[in-house]
Chains A and B, each alone.
Chain A
Amino acid sequence: MIENFSLNCPLPLSDYEKVLLAHGGGGTLSHQLIQKMFFSQFDNPLLNSEHDGAIFELNGTKFAFSTDSYVVQPIFFPGGNIGGLAVNGTVNDLSMCGAKPLFLSCGFIIEEGFPMTDLWKVVLSMKSAAEKAGVQIVTGDTKVVDKGKGDKIFINTSGIGVIHEGVSISPLNCKPGDAILLNGNIADHGIAIMSARENLSFETTIQSDCAPLNALVESMVSVSKNIHVLRDPTRGGIASALNEIAQKANVGILIEEEKIPIREEVKGACELLGLDPLYIANEGKLLAIVKANDAEKILNEMRKHPLGKESSLIGYVTEENKQSVIMKTSIGSKRIVDMLSGEQLPRIC
């Protein structure tokens, strides 16, 4: 006898028999999988706030708790490797909650046959990243799987941090009129990864922008408590991050193409492969949605920091066009920046 028998379809994504790569791509399909499969079952208020981490209070102190898994291929790429990425990624998720990151856990799933020298490089990178970010890796786990059952190495990191005093970060705090700030050049990381991939390889000096953003965030909150939203635009790029915020907050977003910093070389790579840089991953970038009156002083503070030298005010939150992101193009017309469906693939047409 099955308890709690429901007449709803037991498999929430019955259109798909199998999980596709697109379900992990950061776009619409990912969103659907997470909402319909995971959120619907794990349902609770902390989860439903849908931020980069869960925020909760214990004995008068507000904490943030976050997790992320790293499966990037290739594991060594220009500007970094999977180890540094794993540490910075969770440090950044916590920072995006408005928290000072303190402690990380680290779980390794290693494929049999993975060279020790490579593992050592990964570990040293994690050590260096943790030191630079001022966090400690305090607990962990190691598993080894049969050869062929894991793609060299997967790493999961989870982290805990303490929310900065007076700071309340949530997409729901977003208001029409708020300014949208970005700390620098987009798409470096995604292009660096692609340049190292077989069959799409090209020569470039572009490096991943992988970096810990906690110190930058700390300097920002020191000059203003009117930071409403922080988001690091990783998979799916700034387009996906802004769409998620617009939908969650039920606001419109208007950005200006000319104001979005991007390296010429990255532009060249995107043109070559037919990719839109707005949808390409970043690992050392943040979007901050702030009260418009504070935008200038926050920008000035950001520009003093090595990770914020190219900081730019890229747009505003609007009353109109709720749940959409609109971009004023370089020729002065407007177009929609839609949510990515599936994975962005290089094209020839």
Chain B
Amino acid sequence: MCLSIPGKVISIDETNPELRMGKVSFSGVTKEICLQWVPDVQVGEYVLAHVGFALSKIDEKDAHETLAILKEMGDLEEPNEIS
């Protein structure tokens, strides 16, 4: 719950090890977001941001797979299983 949106990490600031921050772009709008809870995120990857904190990395492969299955749904006659 609660408003969280995906954004692209464009830079990471490691100066404070207890408050790892980064600049995250939301369609070109950049905000400082705390990346402390996504320690393995790299520049260029996507995170889900809520009130200035990244709660999770976006699993891009998973997202594309889900979209592909949903697109195929319209072409098939039988229901398709989504795991």
The answer on direct contact between A and B (beta carbons under 8 Å) is yes
Q: Do residues A348 and B3 form an inter-chain contact, with CB atoms below 8 A?
A: yes
The answer to the question of A18 belonging to the interface, with a C-beta cut-off of 8 Å to chain B, is: no
A261 to chain B, nearest CB (A): 15
Stretch at the interface among B26-34, B37-45, B56-64, B68-76: B26-34
- In the assembly, what is the distance between CA of A265 and CA of B28, in Å? 5
Contact with A269, one of B2, B29, B49 (Cβ below 8 angstroms): B29
Given contacts A348-B50, A348-B51, contact A268 B3 (CB under 8 A): no
The answer to the question of B19 belonging to the interface, with a C-beta cut-off of 8 Å to chain A, is: no
Contact with B30, one of A203, A264, A347, A349 (Cβ below 8 angstroms): A203
A267-296 interface with B by 8 A CB criterion: 267-269, 271-272, 274
Contact with B5, one of A195, A202, A265, A272 (Cβ below 8 angstroms): A272
Q: Do residues B50 and A272 form an inter-chain contact, with CB atoms below 8 A?
A: no
The interface size of chain A toward B, counting residues with CB under 8 Å, comes to 17
- In the assembly, what is the distance between CA of A274 and CA of B29, in Å? 14
- Tier of interface size on chain B: 10 to 19
Q: Do residues B27 and A265 form an inter-chain contact, with CB atoms below 8 A?
A: yes
Given contacts A348-B2, A348-B50, A349-B2, contact A267 B31 (CB under 8 A): no
A77 to chain B, nearest CB (A): 15
- In the assembly, what is the distance between CA of A271 and CA of B2, in Å? 12
Instruction: Write the chain B residue with the least CB distance to A268.
Output: B27
How does the 8 Å CB contact mask read for A192-216 relative to B, with 1 for contact and 0 for none? 0001000000111110000000000
Which residues on the B side are within 8 Å of A347 (C-beta)? 3
A242 to chain B, nearest CB (A): 25
The answer to the question of B1 belonging to the interface, with a C-beta cut-off of 8 Å to chain A, is: yes
Q: Besides the contacts A195-B29, A204-B29, A272-B49, what 19 more A-B pairs have beta carbons closer than 8 Å?
A: A202-B30, A203-B30, A203-B31, A205-B28, A264-B27, A264-B28, A265-B27, A265-B28, A265-B29, A268-B7, A268-B29, A271-B27, A272-B31, A274-B3, A347-B3, A348-B2, A348-B3, A349-B1, A349-B3
